[in-house]
Chain A
Amino acid sequence: MAEIQNNPASQAIEDIDELDENVKSEWLSFKLAGLDYAVDILRVQEIRVWQASTRIPYSPSYVNGLINLRGSIVPIVDLRTRLGMDTKEYDSETVVLIMDVEFEEGGKTIGIIVDAISEVVQTDVNNSQLSPEFDLSIDKNFVAGIADDGDKMVILLKVDTLLDLDI
């Protein structure tokens, strides 16, 4: 390790990494069973009102179905079910976030159904923390961090892990 740090080139690379981490990033927050969650806003393609989808046979319970996004066939995922929460009837506040997801085999477009949209949260990834004593009651692999947004806590989600569907 020491040897590598002596190398000026890799030092420079590390500096850039640190710089990156200090840059504030924007997250789009939404409600899910009374709590606030957020996803990286750069991954949100668009926000749509919920519309009926086509059920896919043999799909996991959290896959709601397929919708037509301007000619593309896009699956949408019920985020409550995905995170193991109780389901709720979709209503006029229900929204689908169309996400860009990156997998090893390439990019995909997948929608997530959330209760309602809240706002854009600015956060410093360094400030977000994930300490073991938090009981989030959701799979920790899905969590990128916790942001403190004034009076409330926002759980930042890792889109790529969250939507790596086990089909």
Chain B
Amino acid sequence: MKKILTVDDSASMRAMVAFTLKAQGFDVTEAVHGQEGLDKATASTFDLIISDVNMPVMDGIEFITNVRKLEAYRFTPILMLTTESGLDKKQEGKSAGATGWIVKPFDPQKLVAVVNKVLK
């Protein structure tokens, strides 16, 4: 079973991502901000990380930069959840090492399609 880490400070967004992906048979772990995400990523190994950008404690850009530095995550796909208005965040995230992005708000089906593509 593929393992996915979802990092988001919004419980609802996290729940939506987790609910949707669990229904597809993925093992989903949740983290509420970048720091917790980094801790969980270190403690275990994930096949895919999905992270929000704006978060307290440690934001998404810093989180992605840090995760990429970890040996185990050099080639792991990391997707950002961005809002339409955060276009420059996409660039920033890409520079930090993100694989790609999903624009919020998104349809649960779209999420599944993207995740399946990346994990194929």
Contact = CB atoms under 8 A, between A and B. Distances in A.
Given A48-B108, A49-B105, A70-B107, A118 B20 contact: no
B19 A94 contact: no
A93 B108 contact: no
B15 interface: yes
A165 B108 CA distance: 26
Interface residues of B, number: 13
A116 B109 CA distance: 21
Given A92-B10, A93-B10, A47 B15 contact: yes
B19 A93 contact: no
B102 to A, nearest CB: 13
Most chain A CB within 10 A, of B15, B104, B107, B109, is at B15
Given A44-B19, A46-B20, A95 B12 contact: yes
Contact of A95 (B15, B20, B104, B109): B15
Contacts of B16: 46-49, 95, 117
Contact of B12 (A46, A70, A116): A116
Contacts of A48: 16, 105, 108
A47 B109 contact: no
B108 A47 contact: yes
B13 interface: yes
A121 interface: no
Contacts of B72: none
B11 interface: yes
A47 B107 contact: no
A72 interface: no
Interface string B18-38: 011000000000000000000
Nearest to B105: A49
A51 interface: yes
Nearest to B106: A49
A46 B108 CA distance: 7
A46 B107 CA distance: 10
A46 B11 CA distance: 15
A118 B30 CA distance: 12
A47 B12 contact: yes
Given A44-B19, A47-B16, A47-B20, A116 B11 contact: yes
Nearest to B12: A95
Given A48-B105, A94-B12, 13 more contacts: A46-B16, A46-B108, A47-B15, A49-B12, A51-B105, A92-B10, A93-B12, A95-B15, A116-B12, A117-B12, A117-B16, A117-B19, A118-B15
